[in-house]
Structure 1
Amino acid sequence: MQDKYFPDVVGSDGRDFGKAVCIITGASKGFGRCIAKEIALLLKPGSMFFLVARSGDKLRELQAELAATRAGKAGLITRCVVADLGLKDDVDQVIREIREAASDIDINQLLLINNAASLGDVSRFAKSFTDLHEVNAYMSFNVSSALSLTASVLEVFPRRQDLHRCVVNVSSLCALQPFPSWVLYCTGKAARDMMFKVLAEEEPDLRVLSYAPGPLDTDMLLQARTESGDAGLKKSIAALHSQGEVLTCEESCSKLLKVLLEDKYPSGTHLDYHDV
């Protein structure tokens, strides 16, 4: 973890997230893992992390990495929750563990980052998705679970005058623009953006942000450039990668954390990496 990614955040003006409960879904790899490692640098001792993903081994590796940092040595409490968010019982398990471990903790910040997502089958076009079960399974993991988890977390940590509550939806340009052969992903991201816009309207004390991190050098990008059914899209994504125009997770994460710490964005807005 390099402080160089935070030239105007870490080590300069002393801003941080205070003593917090931080929940990150999809934390085992890629952007979620990077967020966890960098946010750990910005938490006060006694803060609590909930790292949620389907891969228990990768979560435990991350937990060990965090324990070895200055945050871990200063008293950061980390909980790994192995769960498939497409399943109701697993979402209930996540909430149960959060409620049991953190409901009585004395904090001044709640930070929920809805990062878990999947690209879906991008080798096919919209007219091929005739199987309702397949579509529902995708939407359950990528859309329904984000709403159910967010609503449940807000129940565990209700509005309180001295508690700053923030919910982040990791979004995409695909929430705004159609990408041929990406019907599931575009639909899911658009639905999530609107979901969190509504939440921001309903809960004026809550800080809500949909952040599109840009094209990241992750497993998802590899899938996109090798499996996309639309030849033009596949070619353009491959060109981005070959020309070195994709972003590292650290580059994008630094902008997200800068935005969250400055806390000046309109609640409910969609903000792209390139807009910051």
Structure 2
Amino acid sequence: MAVRPSVKGTSLCIVTGASRGLGRALALGLSASLQPGSQLVVAARCGEALRELRDGAAAAGSGVDVCPVQADLSGDAGLREVVRAVQRQQQQHGAPDRLLIINNAGELLNPDPTLHPTGPLDNSMHEQARKETGDPELRKMFVDMHRQGQLLTCQESARKLLEILAKDEFESGAHIDYFDP
């Protein structure tokens, strides 16, 4: 059995887009990797999937407080709801050693990958780009990447980020890319 990387110190972590795909994979990985006493605020439009995440973390006995926030983050009201949840978490638990924000919410509104790159991640956005991209050459590129197995799974990408977080060698505010060493 592989040992999960562990994120040092107590954390307050916010993951948006946590109900499916990469966001869900990250939230699941973090719930097992954060130190007991940490807080994980998971936000997305699908409240049921977020509650399942919370219940799974509680059943696993991780000691991480998972706070689901059903919110549409495309508008101010959703953002305010997440901020209120974070404030409640801090009032209940105090200041953490670190704050981690993983902004993963989004959707492919325009299936032109030059405007909304999905990268080499096998997720619903990539699938939508394979089906709906208007430019035949771009569509073929996405289809070929999928057929040739050139895409990462959400779990592979989440595992890599958790390894980076566990090493604790990144600068505060850094943009972290999967292909960074």
1:23-42 maps to which residues of 2 (within 5 A)? 23-42=14-33
User: Are the equivalent residues in 1 in contact too, given 2:13–2:100 (CA < 8 A)?
Assistant: yes
Deviation of 1:224 after TM superposition, in Å, equals 1.0
Partner residue of 1:121? 110
TM-score, length-scaled by structure 2: 0.87
Deviation of 1:59 after TM superposition, in Å, equals 1.1
Deviation of 1:31 after TM superposition, in Å, equals 0.4
Partner residue of 1:108? 97
Distance 1:60 1:250 in 2: 20
Distance 1:266-1:23 versus aligned 2 partners, 3 A rule:
closer
Task: Answer yes or no: is 1:185 the counterpart of 2:116.
Answer: yes
Q: Deviations over 1:56-103 (max 9, x none)?
A: 1111122222222231xxx32111101011111221121112212324
Distance 1:113 1:63 in 2: 17
User: Are the equivalent residues in 2 in contact too, given 1:119–1:184 (CA < 8 A)?
Assistant: no
The partner residue of 2:151 within 215, 228, 246 is: 246
User: Are the equivalent residues in 1 in contact too, given 2:14–2:40 (CA < 8 A)?
Assistant: yes
User: Are the equivalent residues in 1 in contact too, given 2:9–2:35 (CA < 8 A)?
Assistant: yes
Deviation of 1:184 after TM superposition, in Å, equals 4.4
User: Are the equivalent residues in 1 in contact too, given 2:31–2:66 (CA < 8 A)?
Assistant: no
Deviation of 1:274 after TM superposition, in Å, equals 2.6
Partner residue of 2:12? 21
Identity over aligned residues, as a percent? 39
Distance 1:44 1:262 in 2: 14
User: Are the equivalent residues in 1 in contact too, given 2:25–2:154 (CA < 8 A)?
Assistant: yes
Note the residue ranges of structure 2 that are not aligned, 5 or more in a row: none
The partner residue of 1:265 within 151, 163, 170 is: 170
Note the residue ranges of structure 1 that are not aligned, 5 or more in a row: 123-180, 187-212
TM-score, length-scaled by structure 1: 0.59
Q: Which has the larger radius of gyration?
A: 1
Over aligned residues, Cα RMSD in angstroms?
2.2
Looking at both structures, which has the greater relative contact order when contacts are Cα pairs under 8 Å and sequence separation is at least 6? Answer: 2
Higher helix share: 1
- The aligned length equals 180
